[in-house]
Amino acid sequence: MSGLVECVPNFSEGRDQGKISQITDAIKAVKDITLLDVDPGKDTNRTVVTFVGPIEAIEEAAFKGIQKAAEVIDMRQQKGAHPRMGATDVCPFVPISNVTIEDCVELSKRVGNRVGEELGIPVYLYENSAQKKEWKSLPNIREGEYEALPEKLQKQEWKPDFGPAKFNAGAGATVIGCREFLIAYNINLNTRDTRLATDIAFEIREKGRSKRVPHTVSKNLLDGEIIRNKDGSPMKQRGKFKDVKAIGWYMDIYNRAQISINFNNYKSSTIHDVFDEACALATERGVRVTGSELVGLIPLEALLMAGRHYLKKQNRSTGLSKKMIVETAAQSLGLNDVAPFNPNEKIIDYAVQNKTEKLIDVATEEFLEEVGSNSPAPGGGSVSALAGSLGAGLTSMVAALTHEKKDFFDKKPLMEEIGEEAQKTKDRLLFLVEEDT
């Protein structure tokens, strides 16, 4: 596979498993497509589907999914907690490997044109594909949601990029585009009060909020009086985190309110920083964060960053295996709070790995039997790489143990450096066990 693209369509159906299966079956039927995740939400009445493949296959699978959604979802009957404007509400393409942003922009235009022409659905381009500056942001396009479409489509400024400027009552409208990897993430609160979740969301999102005078009794800033400019318009205050969008809502299935967050760039604003700040803001308001939830997939790097952050706060070595660092992140963020967190299913780097058996996955006895057979492989290269990897693992173990001994506190930075380098060496040599064969 020369290049890999991720597609993450959001369909406005999260309750009828039969309809969801019809959509995912249409996607899976396309050759070279790997379906990674199907994440339905009953309260949001929305399903996030994640699949990967080469550009040509992704193009066909995305269209087939949108086509089937238009057949089985009737927007006239759709209600849910999540903002939406179409049967396929949004369909983003994300470059994963050996594919550029430009490639995915062109891909989004081809799919958008086909959806508009063949299905008669108004299509708006967003993010990197946006043809208008104000349409780069999904909330701007989705303003008023499905119910506002009949009026909006009569206005010239709302003429879609593809398809008719005509209301499609059954399918609504669809937003398509190329974006960077987006992390959909919910922080759980020990309250049913949606306004408290919204208050915290307004503090952390980049867009911010209207400035308010703190209420004399309530700790919720939404209860305070809005501070206005001379012309009467609300005075605005920027939020705490760049490239972060957030809203508050109540999830009946969990019997609690959540802060629903989208990270448009998990490197400019990290999950752990936002989580820690949400914990602090919740405490100020007399509520508590109980954990968090991933919707869809997350890059391994984002959780490694979080795991190392919490290990450092504990004054522990970060020179540990990726598995242990991810486990630290999962425990610290409370990722098992409302639903099970399976790293092999939720981390995209693991989910897209080849499922065929590798030498490094077989039992030690089997490996030794294979080495001792009359087969030329695995041979000396694989054995040497495995021995080196084991040695690096031992080095990491000693560094981690030394890091925790009180007699060597002055050596902590050195032990951390040695441990991290040993882990990298271990992983490189493990790769070479397979590569040599």
Structure-token pair, residue 344? 């092999």
More confident residue, 408 or 434: 408
Tell the residue number behind the tokens 């009957």, with chain if given: 77
Q: Give Cβ neighbours of residue 401 (< 8 Å, ≥ 6 apart).
A: none
pLDDT recorded at residue 355: 39
Between CA 198 and CA 285 the distance in angstroms is 12
Report the catalytic residues: 82, 436
Point out which residues pair with 293 in neighbouring strands. 186
pLDDT of residue 284 exceeding 50, the answer is yes
Q: pLDDT tier at 368 (50, 70, 90 boundaries)?
A: low
- What is the number of H-type helices and E-type strands within the chain? 14, 15
Yes or no: say if 95 and 53 are a contact pair by the CB < 8 Å rule.
Answer: no
Between CA 240 and CA 230 the distance in angstroms is 26
Would you put residue 433 in left (φ > 0), alpha (ψ -120 to 50) or beta?
Answer: alpha
pLDDT recorded at residue 121: 98
Yes or no: say if 433 and 371 are a contact pair by the CB < 8 Å rule.
Answer: no
pLDDT of residue 96 exceeding 90, the answer is no
Structure-token pair, residue 27? 């996607």
Closest alpha carbon to 420 in 437, 396, 385, 388: 396
Tell the residue number behind the tokens 């006239």, with chain if given: 76
Between CA 46 and CA 55 the distance in angstroms is 25
The mean predicted confidence, pLDDT, of the chain is 90
Closest alpha carbon to 193 in 117, 251, 130: 251
| Tens-digit pLDDT profile for residues 63-82 | 999 999 999 999 999 999 99
Closest alpha carbon to 109 in 89, 130, 88: 130
Q: Which amino acid is at 100?
A: T
pLDDT of residue 411 exceeding 80, the answer is no
Helix extents (H) in 290-321: 300-313
Lowest mean pLDDT among 31-35, 63-67, 427-431: 427-431
| Tens-digit pLDDT profile for residues 255-282 | 999 999 999 889 999 999 999 999 999 9
Percent of the chain surpassing pLDDT 70: 93
Closest alpha carbon to 67 in 11, 106, 107: 11
